[in-house]
């Protein structure tokens, strides 16, 4: 489902480029740098993007490739942070938002979303497990993220049918978010969902 997240970023870039013509984006116009018509292929947009749990860096590197230049990658793993910093990406070691300051226009989270399996080695659970029931990490993220979103800021969140989607969506509404399903994909033993989330 990463392709859904990447397509969202591509469409966001197109929306920004065509803002004057189609007014397609709900982000404030003041958040965008002026785009030079003579340098459109290398346009850099001033929208701020945070990639929570960056892992291999696929999404944050795609953001850079698309021309976004206010990028922050976050991961709890020190090796991941060092790797992304070497790629000239601002990367911060943090457990969710514990070491993060400021607010962002877009927060992306492709989290671990499986229920805990005690048979799995502890060192690999950090990459797969979202808590005993499979949703605790996602709930914690939503509780904290609202304090790091700019006005009209958005969250892109991926999770699984194994993560108790109804509980996640109910909690999101309780926290004052509104949610929009962007895509879903049926796999052998689960279904994956990508949601766009923002404050009401």
The predicted-structure confidence for 136-154, as pLDDT tens digits, reads as follows 889 999 999 999 999 889 9
pLDDT at 110: 85
**What is the tally of structural domains in the chain?**
1
Q: What average pLDDT does this structure show over 92-110?
A: 94
17-31, 89-103, 184-198: range with lowest mean pLDDT: 17-31
Task: Provide the pLDDT confidence category of residue 32 given band limits of 50, 70 and 90.
Answer: very low
Q: What average pLDDT does this structure show over 84-110?
A: 94
Confirm if 91 and 81 have CB atoms less than 8 A apart. yes
Cα distance between residue 102 and residue 36, in whole Å: 28
Residue-level length of the chain? 200
Instruction: Tell me whether residue 15 is in a domain.
Output: no
Mean pLDDT of the chain: 79
Instruction: Tell me whether residue 155 is in a domain.
Output: yes
Instruction: Tell me whether residue 30 is in a domain.
Output: no
pLDDT at 41: 41
Q: What average pLDDT does this structure show over 11-28?
A: 57
Q: How large a percentage of the chain has pLDDT more than 70?
A: 74
Using CA atoms, how far residue 157 sits from 8, 88, 112, 170, 184, in Å, is 12, 25, 11, 15, 12
Confirm if 163 and 135 have CB atoms less than 8 A apart. yes
Burial 82-118 (b: 16+ CB within 10 A, else e): ebbeeeebebbbbebbeebeeebbbbbbbbbbbbeee
User: Who wins on pLDDT, 176 or 187?
Assistant: 176
pLDDT at 134: 59
Q: Does the pLDDT of residue 48 top 90, yes or no?
A: yes
Instruction: Tell me whether residue 194 is in a domain.
Output: yes
pLDDT at 6: 81
Q: Whole-prediction pTM value?
A: 0.80
Residue 153 belongs to a domain with what CATH number? Answer: 3.40.50.150
pLDDT at 36: 35
Q: Does the pLDDT of residue 63 top 70, yes or no?
A: yes
| Dihedral sign for Cα atoms in the order 25, 168, 139, 128 | negative
Instruction: Tell me whether residue 38 is in a domain.
Output: no
Using CA atoms, how far residue 7 sits from 1, 3, 89, 156, in Å, is 10, 6, 21, 12
Nearest-CA neighbor of 84 among 60, 101, 104?
60
Q: How large a percentage of the chain has pLDDT more than 90?
A: 42
User: Who wins on pLDDT, 177 or 8?
Assistant: 177
Instruction: Tell me whether residue 26 is in a domain.
Output: no
pLDDT at 126: 56
E strand spans, the chain: 45-52, 68-75, 91-93, 104-109, 149-160, 177-186, 191-199
Instruction: Tell me whether residue 134 is in a domain.
Output: yes
* Enclosing domain of residue 59: 2-9+45-199
Instruction: Tell me whether residue 23 is in a domain.
Output: no
If one counts every other C-beta atom within 10 angstroms of the C-beta of residue 187, the result is 10
């Amino acid at each position: 489902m990463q392709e859904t997240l990447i397509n969202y970023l591509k469409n966001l870039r197109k929306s920004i480029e065509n803002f004057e013509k189609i007014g397609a984006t709900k982000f404030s116009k003041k958040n965008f740098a002026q785009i030079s018509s003579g340098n459109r292929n290398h346009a850099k947009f001033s929208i701020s993007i945070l990639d929570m749990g960056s892992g291999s860096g696929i999404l944050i590197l795609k953001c850079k490739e698309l021309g976004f230049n206010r990028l922050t990658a976050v991961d709890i793993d020190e090796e991941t942070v060092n790797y992304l910093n070497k790629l000239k990406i601002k990367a911060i070691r943090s457990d969710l938002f514990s070491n993060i300051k400021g607010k962002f226009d877009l927060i992306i989270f492709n989290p671990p979303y499986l229920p805990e399996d005690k048979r799995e080695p502890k060192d690999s659970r950090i990459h797969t497990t979202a808590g005993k029931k499979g949703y605790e990490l996602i709930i914690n993220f939503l509780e904290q993220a609202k304090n790091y979103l700019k006005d009209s800021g958005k969250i892109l969140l991926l999770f699984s049918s194994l993560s108790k989607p109804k509980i996640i969506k109910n909690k999101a509404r309780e926290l004052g978010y509104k949610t929009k399903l962007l895509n879903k994909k049926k796999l052998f033993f689960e279904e994956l969902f990508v949601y766009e989330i923002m404050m009401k």
